[in-house]
Amino acid sequence: MASQDWVEKDFYAILGVSKDASADEIKKAYRKLARKYHPDTNPGDAEAEKRFKDITEAHHVLSDPEERQQYDAIRAMGGARFAPGGAGGGAAGFEDLFGGLFTGGAGRHSRGFSTGNVPPEFADLFGGGFGGAGYGGGFQPPPQKGADRQATTTISFAGSIRGTTIGLREQSGEVIDVRVPAGIRDGQKVRVRGKGGPGSAGPGDLMVTVHVKPHDFFAREGDNLRIHVPVTFDEAALGAQIEVPTVDGGTVKMKVPAGTNSGRTLRLKGRGVKTSKGTGDLLVTIDVVVPQNLTKEAEEAVRAFAAAVAKNGQADPRAHLAEKAKL
């Protein structure tokens, strides 16, 4: 860039900083303005594009300590310039004195200034940079990845617990294998990389939403599983050791404490859903089964039991219902 151009442009004003601004203040001002006026944010706006070029040019000069010093010196001289070899007995002109400072007028501060050389530390402002293109020939957007595609599938409960592989058939006849990880929840998505729409930076991905069929016995609650297990009246009253089924197809022994009420939930650690992040628990809800069609002998035994309990002074379980039912 010619010295007169530097005199005519107030880079400090362009960035909105003072002449004694620190390097951090200059960087912060550039980031803010570059994001605001970037062509991706203002498509088709010629004024925004011009502002963006000026902002980037100002940052290139003021962020370089040596060039900032040269810029300040030239501005302090008031912009005096003389044509080389002109009046004054052929004394060296202003351009001759400083010509070597500006890479021959054809470097990054030339009138053909290119915004393709945005500093790497600011690449995150613009989604990865400019692709090396200057604005003289029009803004060239960076290569874009293809769009993601969406699909839906339904798997069995067993498939969600153990993991499975399904095949999705394209209209072209191609079958895409989708690996469903063990422990996937209903509504979660699986990503199949490279099976989306085409793009200049590579194809997008296929996002598959997985629905899980419910199970008749196991109910999932996060990574825990809940089951209902019936026990007899005497097992609940006296306590018992019972076996309950687990999701892996086996069984596990569990102690039912004496005096267990119907609806109480017992927890078996580590018997729930296994995922890459851990394993849930098995929640066992106890359902006390009341015997039906008692024999005369059984009926007499129950009456004897009721009499013994009453003799012991067991409290009426419904004693406080009326108080609780008040509105």
Task: Single out the residue of 248, 251, 237 nearest to residue 306, CA to CA.
Answer: 237
What kind of fold does domain 219-311 have according to CATH?
Answer: HSP40/DNAj peptide-binding domain (2.60.260)
Work out the number of other CB atoms within 10 angstroms of the CB of residue 326. 5
pLDDT of 38 reads: 86
pLDDT confidence band for 4 (50 / 70 / 90) = low
Contacts of 32 (CB under 8 A, 6+ apart): none
149-212: CATH superfamily: Urease metallochaperone UreE, N-terminal domain (2.60.260.20)
pLDDT of 70 reads: 84
Burial 173-200 (b: 16+ CB within 10 A, else e): eeeeebebeebbeeeeebebeebbeeee
The tokens describing 114, both together, are 């290119």
pLDDT digits (tens, 9 = 90+) for 95-117: 333 333 333 333 344 333 444 44
pLDDT of 172 reads: 86
pLDDT of 33 reads: 92
The rounded distance, in Å, linking the Cα atoms of 269 and 79 is 81
Q: Which of 225-229, 243-247, 309-313 has the lowest mean pLDDT?
A: 309-313
3-137 shares its CATH topology with 149-212: no
Q: Is 71 exposed, middle or buried (0-12, 13-18, 19+ CB in 10 A)?
A: buried
Q: Looking up tokens 């095949």, which residue turns up?
A: 167
Residue that wins the pLDDT comparison between 219 and 322: 219
Phi, psi values for residue 163, rounded to 5°: 90, 150
Q: What is the mean pLDDT of the chain?
A: 81
List, in sequence order, every beta strand (DSSP E) within the chain: 149-155, 164-169, 175-180, 189-192, 206-212, 219-221, 224-232, 240-245, 251-256, 265-268, 274-275, 278-279, 282-289
Using left for φ > 0, alpha for ψ between -120 and 50, and beta otherwise, residue 33 falls in alpha
pLDDT confidence band for 118 (50 / 70 / 90) = low
Which CATH number applies to 3-137: 1.10.1060.10, 3.40.50.300, 1.10.10.10, 1.10.287.110? Answer: 1.10.287.110
Q: Is 22 exposed, middle or buried (0-12, 13-18, 19+ CB in 10 A)?
A: exposed
The rounded distance, in Å, linking the Cα atoms of 68 and 72 is 6
pTM score: 0.55
Q: What is the DSSP letter of 300?
A: H
Looking at 179-287, list the stretches that DSSP marks H as alpha helix, in order from N- to C-terminal side: 233-238
Mean pLDDT of 131-146: 61
Q: Looking up tokens 């209903």, which residue turns up?
A: 186
Rounded alpha-carbon distances, angstroms, from residue 323 to 316, 317, 327: 14, 13, 9
pLDDT digits (tens, 9 = 90+) for 254-265: 999 999 999 999
R_g (Cα) of the chain, nearest Å = 39
Q: Is 178 within 8 Å of 158 (Cβ atoms)? A: no
pLDDT of 267 reads: 97
The β-bridge relationship of strands 274-275 and 278-279 is antiparallel
Where do the domains of the chain lie?
A: 3-137, 149-212, 219-311
The rounded distance, in Å, linking the Cα atoms of 107 and 103 is 5
